[in-house]
């Protein structure tokens, strides 16, 4: 386990200085925004993209566009549709820049962020979990052109998850559900790595946060199972985000010390970040994006 955690720390602690600059929406980005937001989606059941795009087209929202550089290299652009311009303070820009830099490829990534406030919540008793309860983004494998995040809560973890896909990390020998489970397992582990940087950033800190995340994970999955909220079998939704990713962490030896039954009242997939983490990454105490 420690060898894996050390590798994660080496990745998230690579010395990098990011620089964000204000930009404007290009016609090409506007076209992608139109394409991604106008059509229906099986996953965006809260209709975040449609709603925010309609507000933008009606002139009620102005896109916030920022480009991220490492040195002279452009690593990514974020196009954010925010209900309130003050919500720009809720985005951990330096952290998002480091995440983009971690996955840097020849072509910079473009992230479209509709910061819908809907929280991830458990279904009503005896109802199955649906995408509206848990999903928050999507992208296309090996594509840098459109990473779409359509929920504010837990958006940093979603960004990491989707960048794994965009950076061509998927194993083509695996089926879709297993690929998603593997990707989610990595995303949550790397999220813990970045959160460890908010304290001492050492192996002990990361071990502690991994244990905390493992407890959150198994307790959340236990509650879903007890409430019969998960369709049976690896093809049942949301296996990839629950039993599937938990099995990957078990294979990696990361569930040691996890305490099942810890109170969990949210379906965000990472444990709620602490006030110290939010302060370290420069976001408001009310921010849910970290």
Q: Range of 66's domain?
A: 2-280
* Residue 158 lies inside a defined structural domain of this protein: yes
Q: How far, CA to CA in Å, does 32 sit from each of 57, 225, 238? A: 14, 39, 28
3-class DSSP state of 254:
coil
Say how many residues make up the chain: 290
* Residue 18 lies inside a defined structural domain of this protein: yes
pLDDT, position 190: 98
pLDDT, position 40: 82
Per-residue pLDDT averaged across 100-111, rounded? 95
Total number of domains constituting the chain: 1
pLDDT higher than threshold 90 for residue 42 = no
* Residue 32 lies inside a defined structural domain of this protein: yes
Structure confidence by residue, pLDDT tens digits, 57-84: 999 999 999 999 999 999 999 999 999 9
* CA proximity to 73, closest of 112, 15, 19, 14: 19
* Band of residue 38 on the pLDDT scale cut at 50, 70, 90: confident
- With DSSP H G I counted as helix, E B as strand and the rest as coil, what are the percentages for the chain, rounded to 5? 45, 10, 45
* Residue 286 lies inside a defined structural domain of this protein: no
Structure confidence by residue, pLDDT tens digits, 121-131: 999 988 999 99
Structure confidence by residue, pLDDT tens digits, 138-149: 999 999 999 999
| Residues 99 and 159 sit within 8 Å (Cβ to Cβ) | yes
* Residue 71 lies inside a defined structural domain of this protein: yes
Structure confidence by residue, pLDDT tens digits, 210-263: 999 999 999 999 999 999 999 888 988 999 999 999 999 999 999 998 988 889
* Residue 288 lies inside a defined structural domain of this protein: no
Share of the chain above pLDDT 90, in %: 91
Per-residue pLDDT averaged across 191-206, rounded? 96
Q: What's the distance, Cα to Cα, between the start and end of the chain in Å? A: 25
pLDDT, position 47: 95
* Residue 287 lies inside a defined structural domain of this protein: no
Q: Tally Cβ neighbours within 10 Å of residue 217.
A: 26
Q: Tally Cβ neighbours within 10 Å of residue 252.
A: 15
* CA proximity to 99, closest of 152, 159, 188: 159
Share of the chain above pLDDT 70, in %: 100
CA 105/CA 220 separation, integer angstroms: 35
CA 86/CA 110 separation, integer angstroms: 22
DSSP 8-state symbol, 51: H
Q: Tally Cβ neighbours within 10 Å of residue 84.
A: 11
Q: pTM of whole model > 0.95?
A: yes
* Residue 124 lies inside a defined structural domain of this protein: yes
């Amino acid at each position: 386990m420690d060898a894996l955690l050390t590798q994660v720390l080496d990745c998230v602690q690579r010395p990098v200085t990011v620089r964000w600059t204000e930009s404007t929406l290009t016609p090409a980005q506007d076209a992608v925004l139109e394409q991604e937001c106008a059509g229906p989606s099986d996953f965006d059941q809260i209709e975040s993209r449609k709603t925010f795009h309609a507000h933008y087209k009606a002139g009620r929202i102005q896109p916030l566009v920022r480009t991220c550089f490492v040195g002279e290299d452009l690593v990514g652009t974020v196009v954010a549709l925010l209900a309130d311009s003050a919500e720009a303070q809720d985005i951990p820009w330096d952290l998002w820049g480091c995440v983009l830099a971690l996955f840097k490829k020849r072509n910079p990534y473009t992230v479209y962020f509709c910061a819908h406030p809907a929280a991830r919540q458990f279904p009503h008793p005896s109802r199955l979990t649906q995408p509206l309860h848990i999903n928050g983004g999507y992208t296309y494998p090996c594509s840098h052109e459109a990473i779409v995040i359509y929920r504010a809560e837990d958006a940093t973890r979603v960004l990491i998850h989707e960048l794994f896909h965009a950076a061509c990390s998927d194993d083509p020998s695996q089926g879709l559900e297993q690929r998603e489970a593997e990707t989610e397992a990595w995303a949550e582990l790397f999220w813990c790595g970045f959160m460890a940087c908010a304290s001492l950033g050492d192996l002990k800190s990361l071990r502690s946060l991994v244990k905390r995340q493992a407890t959150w994970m198994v307790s959340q999955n236990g509650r879903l199972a007890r409430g019969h909220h998960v369709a049976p079998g690896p093809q049942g939704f949301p296996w990839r985000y629950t039993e599937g990713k938990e099995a990957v962490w078990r294979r990696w030896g990361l569930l040691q010390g996890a305490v099942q039954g810890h109170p969990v009242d949210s379906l965000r997939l990472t444990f709620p970040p602490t006030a110290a983490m939010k302060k370290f990454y420069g976001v408001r105490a009310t921010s849910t994006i970290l």
